Structure 1
Amino acid sequence: MARTASLSGFPEWLPEERLVELHVLDTLRRTFELHGFSSIETRAVETVGQLLRKGEIDKEVYGLSRLQDDDGTPGSDTGKTDPHALALHFDLTVPFARYVVENAGYLAFPFRRYQIQKVWRGERPQEGRAREFTQADIDVVGDGDLPFRYDVEIALVIAEALNALPIPDFLLRINNRKLAEGFYTGIGLTDTAGVLRSIDKLEKIGPAKVAELLRSELGATEDQAQAALKLAGIRTPDTSFVEQVRALGVSNDLLEEGLNELEQVIAAAVQRAPGRVVADLSIARGLDYYTGTVVETILVGHEQLGSICSGGRYDALASKGNRKFPGVGLSIGVTRLVSRILSQNLASASRSVPTAVLVALNSDDSWGAAQDVAAALRSRGISTEVAAKAEKFGKQIKFADRRGIPFVWFTDDDGKHQVKDIRTGEQHDADPADWTPAEEDLRVHVTTN
């Protein structure tokens, strides 16, 4: 992790680091499929109009154009004004919404999907923020309506998935946009989206500057600004937030609906994922398409990294005529997580290559027989390489050691087989038809340090 990248913001892992990333991806994939989520992949490119129709992040979107037009002239920069111009997707939710609309006739609703892909954002690179990175999303989308119970289920699935990763303790911080918007309306602030965007900056700029934003940009009075900050200051590990909100003395139907929904999520999480979830009424989420439950997740002790998993309920992102496709989902920042795991040495792979055995050569003429041995081992799931040259055995052993391969296989001229554990020096007779290394050596294992 000390390497200097030739192009910042586009991470490239060493083989042993990639094994850690693959472990994270495989763990997430396995957990999602255990809960019945189907895998899909959408194209990397969308139209600018599609990408920017909900939430303004145009400064971060990478436009896509050819270096030359059909007539050979330099490509034109029309992406900023032409909604039909192409751009790389900045998240997976907007492409997924488009995918649902286009394939609605072929999907069974509620549709449960997971999606693990690269996304691109034109951000200033730093740890936890890359320009090209991998996200792992899960969503449930309904046709016409989507029971609120899926909001609860999504949070529990993510808690289970994160709990299986080699990471420190984490905390899902959950709020509800209906609760917040109903409260702001109840105190007389009509631009609720604007208030949410200001509250979303609370951890970055602090309460005093947020209050100033509310007064200067949204026309809030001092009392209104302080009431909004009091709401954002409520944080509980249980459902006691309900009493604290009601104690603020604001009455609004949307507020009550949001309180009820958030209470259900927190009550279920306290029971099934104790210690992993808090009600945090400062969570707003900047994108405009969220309409109910909103979630951000932090690593305890690594709060400066920012959210490693976020998302929520969206009721109006996908539609086709009068047909609505409400959904709820969460997105894990895989690259952000892996970057922290590697930079802080939180976990490591048991070896740097998948290979468990190197088949040594007695002579160049023994290469064919060595391939037969390798094929027998591979047929039983043992990752095996064959030496390329019949060098002295000491050199072949050093090659295996340099590669991180634990075992070297020898076959003498009489066809007798032996395998050597080069870590301990132990060597014994073996048969390629039935020899198997110990489970901890059969495959690469990623363990917490």
Structure 2
Amino acid sequence: MARISPLSGFPEWLPEGRAVEHAVLETVRRTFELHGFAGIQTRAVEPLEQLLRKGETSKEVYVLRRLQAEESVDAGEDDLDHKALGLHFDLTVPFARYVLENSGRLQFPFKRYQVQSVWRGERPQEGRFREFTQADIDVVGSGALPFHFEVEVPLVMAEVFARLQQFGVPPVRIQVNNRKVAQGFYEAIGLADVEGVLRTIDKLDKIGPERVLATLQQENGASPEQAQSCLDLASISGTDGSIADRVLALGARSELLQEGLEELVTLVEAAQQRVPGTVVADLKIARGLDYYTGSVYETTLVGHEQLGSISSGGRYDSLASDGSATYPGVGMSIGVTRLVSRLLSADLVRASRSVPTAVLVAVTDEQTRADSVAIAAALRRRGIPTDVAPSAAKFGKQIRFADRRGIPFVWFPSPEGHQVKDIRNGEQVDADAQTWEPPAADLWPTVAPTV
């Protein structure tokens, strides 16, 4: 048999890792639903022209076509072979299309969550994959969307990550900025190339302040004084109203700047009351500000900042538009696969067992296997995950079979009366399949921080 060559960038967890991923996803879904977000799912493919509208380069999009695509098609026939299709690289583009197609049936503001795989043709490395799972939330309005949703969304995400700490997820820091602050400031000091300046400031952590200063002057038309003012703005961070005072102390004034500062202060002060220390205004955050129109969010794991952002998002004033109606939105996305990969690679979390089974029913001999199967069926009817030993080996071997999988209990059937053994401590007691049940903590696999 030929040796199988692995494909990099397409993670396949072992059962223990999948249990961790499942626990994370269930917590994410439950928290989203607690806040009124309804789950949806969209197709995996979109027309290439739609995928590329967000500015993604063609080399990052996987194209989809049928291997035996026909060369011709009858006029008017809707044949996917003759449409340029690609796998979606995020969940925003398909969601925008979903909103437009269903606008007449949705109730606005519409709060949705979506957990699906996405595909991106970039070079795999730690935390970056070609196929990965994202979990998104968005709030979309019809024509208008109140600012308070820009406060709600990061607070929902903060709650998600607070709940995930039970599984060993480190604390997070959600850094926030506002397009109106950046744009209002740059325009007030006389800079016209707002998007160019934003892209340059976004490189601050990568290339350092000296090269940023040079780039602002050489490529973005800034004078030395203007370039320094941009760096001074980017140095400001905080969790209260003092950030506005520090920005205004730089001397710039405009209505847009004032509006952005009021929104930013409202956000961080609300967060400071709800989740102290988690949400921080950081004016060097520029990623996404070239297409977001209000708040922007970036989330990192404390102590694992080198992994990069594990959750990001922001406000779009035109998430979707059909030419006559506009649907503004605000949302955030969690890179679930990136998060789980760090939990597993750093051994921060473990599953209590590799299988869902809580009880293994032993088989005395093959002639009485039907009795063991009947016991297992009785336990399953009562909601207890149960398996039957694969062979009528010596009981010691059947116990080792259970132990290797982390199954906590082995059931021994007997005409004289059944017994069940906790193989972790050796305790063995009489049991009835109609009444016995394991402790609640053992019913299903659990995920907990590594000790």
Same fold (TM over 0.5): yes
Q: Secondary structure at the match of 2:319?
A: coil
> Aligned equivalents of 1:398 and 1:172: distance in 2?
46
CA contact (8 A) 2:127 2:342 kept: yes
The alpha-carbon distance between structure 1 residues 25 and 206, as it changes in their structure 2 partners (threshold 3 A), is: same
- Give the equivalent residue in structure 2 for 1:258: 260
1:208 is displaced (CA, Å) by 1.7
After superposition, the C-alpha distances for 1:364-401 in whole angstroms (9 at most, x for unaligned) are: 12222212211221122211001222122122111111
> Aligned equivalents of 1:385 and 1:98: distance in 2?
45
> Aligned equivalents of 1:191 and 1:48: distance in 2?
29
The alpha-carbon distance between structure 1 residues 101 and 432, as it changes in their structure 2 partners (threshold 3 A), is: same
CA contact (8 A) 1:56 1:287 kept: no
> Aligned equivalents of 1:379 and 1:262: distance in 2?
54
Match status 1:26 vs 2:26: yes
Q: Specify the code of the residue in structure 1 equivalent to 2:49.
A: G
Match status 1:421 vs 2:422: yes
Picking from 378, 381, 390, the partner of 1:379 is 381
Q: Secondary structure at the match of 1:41?
A: coil
1:5 is displaced (CA, Å) by 7.9
1:307 is displaced (CA, Å) by 0.6
After superposition, the C-alpha distances for 1:202-256 in whole angstroms (9 at most, x for unaligned) are: 2222222222222222222111111111111111122211000000100111111
- Give the equivalent residue in structure 2 for 1:155: 154
- Give the equivalent residue in structure 2 for 1:230: 232
CA contact (8 A) 1:290 1:313 kept: yes
> Aligned equivalents of 2:293 and 2:256: distance in 1?
11
- Give the equivalent residue in structure 1 for 2:332: 330
> Aligned equivalents of 2:126 and 2:241: distance in 1?
35
The alpha-carbon distance between structure 1 residues 287 and 115, as it changes in their structure 2 partners (threshold 3 A), is: farther
CA contact (8 A) 2:136 2:334 kept: yes
CA contact (8 A) 1:359 1:409 kept: yes
After superposition, the C-alpha distances for 1:248-305 in whole angstroms (9 at most, x for unaligned) are: 1001111111111111111110111111110000111247431100000111111101
Q: Specify the code of the residue in structure 2 equivalent to 1:55.
A: G
Q: TM-score, normalised by structure 1?
A: 0.94
Within a 5 Å distance, the mapping from 1:4-153 to structure 2 comes to 6-71=6-71, 85-153=84-152
CA contact (8 A) 2:127 2:338 kept: yes
After superposition, the C-alpha distances for 1:111-160 in whole angstroms (9 at most, x for unaligned) are: 00000011111121111111111111001000110110011111111000
- Give the equivalent residue in structure 2 for 1:79: none
> Aligned equivalents of 1:216 and 1:119: distance in 2?
38
> Aligned equivalents of 1:374 and 1:31: distance in 2?
34
- Give the equivalent residue in structure 1 for 2:399: 397
Q: Secondary structure at the match of 2:393?
A: coil
> Aligned equivalents of 2:289 and 2:186: distance in 1?
18
Picking from 170, 178, 181, the partner of 1:179 is 181
Unpaired runs of 5+ in structure 1?
73-82
Within a 5 Å distance, the mapping from 1:261-410 to structure 2 comes to 261-286=263-288, 288-410=290-412
After superposition, the C-alpha distances for 1:153-204 in whole angstroms (9 at most, x for unaligned) are: 1111100001111311110000001110111111111121111111122222
Q: Secondary structure at the match of 1:262?
A: helix
Q: Secondary structure at the match of 1:206?
A: helix
Q: Specify the code of the residue in structure 1 equivalent to 2:103.
A: A
Match status 1:447 vs 2:426: no
Picking from 207, 210, 214, the partner of 1:208 is 210
- Give the equivalent residue in structure 2 for 1:434: 435
> Aligned equivalents of 2:222 and 2:60: distance in 1?
30
CA contact (8 A) 1:54 1:287 kept: no
Q: Secondary structure at the match of 1:419?
A: strand
Which 10-residue stretch deviates more, 169-178 or 202-211? 202-211
The alpha-carbon distance between structure 1 residues 64 and 214, as it changes in their structure 2 partners (threshold 3 A), is: farther
Q: Secondary structure at the match of 2:411?
A: strand
Q: Specify the code of the residue in structure 1 equivalent to 2:444.
A: R
CA contact (8 A) 1:239 1:279 kept: no
Q: Specify the code of the residue in structure 2 equivalent to 1:137.
A: D
Q: Secondary structure at the match of 1:425?
A: coil
CA contact (8 A) 2:239 2:269 kept: no
- Give the equivalent residue in structure 1 for 2:221: 219
> Aligned equivalents of 1:202 and 1:338: distance in 2?
28
Q: Secondary structure at the match of 2:265?
A: helix
> Aligned equivalents of 2:199 and 2:19: distance in 1?
38
> Aligned equivalents of 2:389 and 2:311: distance in 1?
44
- Give the equivalent residue in structure 1 for 2:75: none
Which 10-residue stretch deviates more, 180-189 or 388-397? 388-397
CA contact (8 A) 2:178 2:289 kept: no
> Aligned equivalents of 2:241 and 2:344: distance in 1?
36
> Aligned equivalents of 1:124 and 1:54: distance in 2?
20
Q: TM-score, normalised by structure 2?
A: 0.93
CA contact (8 A) 1:5 1:11 kept: no
Q: Specify the code of the residue in structure 1 equivalent to 2:311.
A: C
> Aligned equivalents of 1:444 and 1:66: distance in 2?
41
CA contact (8 A) 1:49 1:84 kept: no
Q: Secondary structure at the match of 1:140?
A: strand
The alpha-carbon distance between structure 1 residues 216 and 442, as it changes in their structure 2 partners (threshold 3 A), is: same
| Alignment length (residue pairs) | 435
